[in-house]
Amino acid sequence: MSGIDCSNPDSMDVRIYDTTVEGIYCPTYSSFFGVMGATAAMAFSALGAAYGTAKSGTGIAAMSVLRPELIMKSIIPVVMAGIIAIYGLVVAVLISNGMGSASSYSLFSGFIDLGAGLAVGISGLAAGFAIGIVGDSGVRGTAQQPRLFVGMILILIFAEVLGLYGLIVALILNTNSGSGECHADCFNPCTGKPCDSK
C-alpha cells in the first residue's frame, strides 16, 4: 500500500483508528434523515387522509340533498380516510422517540427511519386517494341503489389495507433500525483485518 510501511504488520504504526469526535458512522447530518422520515410519514399520510375526507365529503353533500336519512350511514368513507393519518402519526412518533441524542444516531438508523416514513406516508397517500374516489362514487350510487352499500364497504376495506401494508413495513423497518455503533473498529490495512484478529 502506498504511504504505509507493511514490513512489520503487527506494529502499532500501521493501525487505523476512528479519531473523529462523533464517530465515522454518526455524522452530524444523520439526524436529518430521521427527521425527514418522521415528516414524510405524517405529511403524506395526512395528505391522503385529507383528500379522502374531502372527496368523500363532497359525495355526502351531494347525496344528502335527495336522501338526508343516509347521511350517518355514508360517513364511513370519511372515518376510514381519517384512520390513514393515524398510521402516519404512529410511525412519526416512533421515529421521533427512537432518535435520542444526535451524537448516538447513526447514518444507518437515519436511512432506515427515512425508509419507514416514506413507506407509511406514500402508501397512506395512495390509500387516501382510493378511499376518496370510492367513497364519493359509492355514496352517490348507494343513494340511488341501496344494494351497492355492501360492495362499497368491501372496496373501502381493500383500499384501507393499502395503508395498513405500509404501516406494517414501517414498523418492521423501525424495529430493525437499532442504535448502531458510531465509531469504526480499529483496522490494519497491511493484513486487511481488524486489529485484534491475526
Give the orientation angle of helix 148-176 with respect to helix 107-144, to 10 degrees.
180
Dihedral sign computed on CA atoms, order 116, 23, 180, 104: negative
Confidence band (pLDDT; 50, 70, 90) for 29? confident
Instruction: List the domains of the chain with CATH numbers.
Output: 33-176 (1.20.120.610)
Q: What would the grid cell of residue 164 be?
A: 395498513
Question: Over the stretch 116-155, which tens digit does the pLDDT of each residue have?
Answer: 999 999 999 999 999 999 999 999 999 999 899 999 999 9
31 pLDDT above the threshold of 90: no
Report the share of the chain in percent with pLDDT over 90: 57
101 pLDDT above the threshold of 70: no
Confidence band (pLDDT; 50, 70, 90) for 38? very high
Largest CA distance in the chain: 92
What is the rounded distance in angstroms from the CA atom of residue 89 to the CA atom of residue 95? 10
What is the rounded distance in angstroms from the CA atom of residue 98 to the CA atom of residue 89? 14
Across residues 22-37, what is the average pLDDT?
Answer: 82
The residue that leads in pLDDT, 162 or 12, is 162
What is the rounded distance in angstroms from the CA atom of residue 146 to the CA atom of residue 144? 6
What is the rounded distance in angstroms from the CA atom of residue 100 to the CA atom of residue 94? 11
- The angle formed by the CA atoms of residues 39, 101 and 164, to the nearest 5 degrees, is 35
Across residues 31-55, what is the average pLDDT?
Answer: 96
Instruction: Report the mean per-residue pLDDT for the chain.
Output: 86
What is the rounded distance in angstroms from the CA atom of residue 119 to the CA atom of residue 166? 5
1 pLDDT above the threshold of 50: no
Residues in the chain: 198
197 pLDDT above the threshold of 60: no
